[in-house]
Amino acid sequence: MSAEAVREKKRIFSVKRVFIAVIALAGPGLIAANAGNDAGGIATYASAGAQFGYRTLFFMLLVTLALIIVQEMCARLGAYTGEGLGSLIRERFSIRMTTLALVMLIIANIGLVVGEFAGIGAALELVGVSRYIAVPIAALVIWFLVVFSNYKNAERVFLILSLAFFVYPIAAVLSHPNVGEAASQLVFPHFVASHAFLFLGVALIGTTITPYMQFYIAAAIADKGVNPGEYKKERLGTIWGCIFADIISIFIIVATAAAIKTRAPLASAADAAAALKPVAGQFASQLFGLGLLGASALAAAIVPLSTSYAVSEAIGSERSVGKTFGEAPVFFGLFTAQIFIGAAIALIPGNLIAILINAQVLNGIITPILLVYILILANDKSLLGSAANGRWFKIAAGMAVTVISVLSLVVLFTTAAGWLGVNL
């Protein structure tokens, strides 16, 4: 064998090893983080690029750090206790506090489930398929996958759906962005002193650090049977998932910022696809639609699952994707209701982008409250022992929750003032 052939064989072997290592880290952490890049996420990131160019990229750098902190705490809680957040909140807090957490999660998730199916409809409309055909079929497929499958099979499908996100780095490259400007605004803040910018900033937080992601990852890790001895690998997967998901988010912002020259909010998914046409050619709609379809389908399964896990855990009912409908009737009953109610409402005409961004702002306001629960649980040594948050992690997590809370309160205050006719 020639020296060149040996080098090529080694190169292929190295690539395979990297690929295998990446796949080995894939799991609940990657699925949960990628689910955050759902229909609402894509709409919000695309609108951020359309309205403010690269200026919101610095938000994403901060949000990524916060997301890693939050998701790691939830993954650790699931692995070390063998329980999801619903169970832990019920055991640690009062019935009223538990009810408050569940009500907030349900309110946030109902809007998101509708948004995911609206995203599926919008994605397939870009390639000429009516939403009145696409949405019911998608609802049945997702329902069948979760109800009649086991965790491993469902996880494989969720990971395959995550591959759709690779269309956005391609779109970003094709848009020929100003790399220097984008890098500068990613590393250094270039904020705009306006309510619209702050509103969108909180929407970015709300779509990236979403309550259902926290409930899902803790419950999924417990459902998967990950124990403390196996947590090291799961922790790496969780961190890698957060970084991967937010890199995709950054590419979406960059692609739309470079492709759209007139700074204005997006009105529809078709507008976002049309904006990419000069850079992606005649396949722009298919390119954007593929990413939107994969993202929406993934989250359309994960969002209702997170609600089902949380409510079933809180009332002490059986919950697991690996059970049958007869063994876990509450779990699968809740999942079924959310799927079909969400799909039905999604068929009602409306402005998808506006609905989805407002849903993300609602998430951004609800998230800080739920993060306080998570922070208290992760700090509790009687619950986690030596795995509880250490001194520096407590400080970092506390700062992340505080900043998110302040931003959310500012948006809530300025929005309420706007309703009263007061311009701030």
Quick check: is 217 in a domain? yes
Parent domain of 261:
38-418
Query: What is the model's pLDDT at position 210?
Result: 79
Residue with tokens 């759209």: 260
Domains contained in the chain, number = 1
Quick check: is 117 in a domain? yes
Structure tokens at 328: 């876990």
Quick check: is 203 in a domain? yes
Query: What is the model's pLDDT at position 317?
Result: 84
DSSP three-state, residue 85: helix
Query: What is the model's pLDDT at position 22?
Result: 44
Quick check: is 6 in a domain? no
Sequence-distant (6+) residues with CB within 8 A of 358 are none
Quick check: is 29 in a domain? no
Give the residues of the chain that fall short of pLDDT 70.
1-37, 39, 150-152, 154-155, 158-159, 161-165, 261-288, 350-364, 411-424
What would the DSSP string read from start to end of 275-310? HTHHHHGGGHHHHHHHHHHHHHHHHHHHHHHHHHHH
Sequence-distant (6+) residues with CB within 8 A of 337 are none
DSSP three-state, residue 1: coil
**Rg of the chain over all Cα atoms, to the nearest angstrom:** 21
Structure tokens at 116: 């995911």
pLDDT (tens digit per residue) in 61-90: 888 888 899 989 999 999 999 888 888 988
Quick check: is 298 in a domain? yes
Residue with tokens 């609802």: 139
pLDDT (tens digit per residue) in 6-17: 454 544 444 344
Q: What is the CATH number of the domain that holds 87?
A: 1.20.1740.10
pTM over 0.75: yes
Contact yes or no for 115/39 (Cβ under 8 A) = yes
Helices (H), 126-230: 131-147, 151-162, 167-174, 179-187, 195-208, 211-224
Query: What is the model's pLDDT at position 102?
Result: 85
DSSP three-state, residue 324: coil
Quick check: is 371 in a domain? yes
Quick check: is 21 in a domain? no
Contact yes or no for 77/88 (Cβ under 8 A) = yes
51 closest CA partner among 199, 210, 181, 251: 199
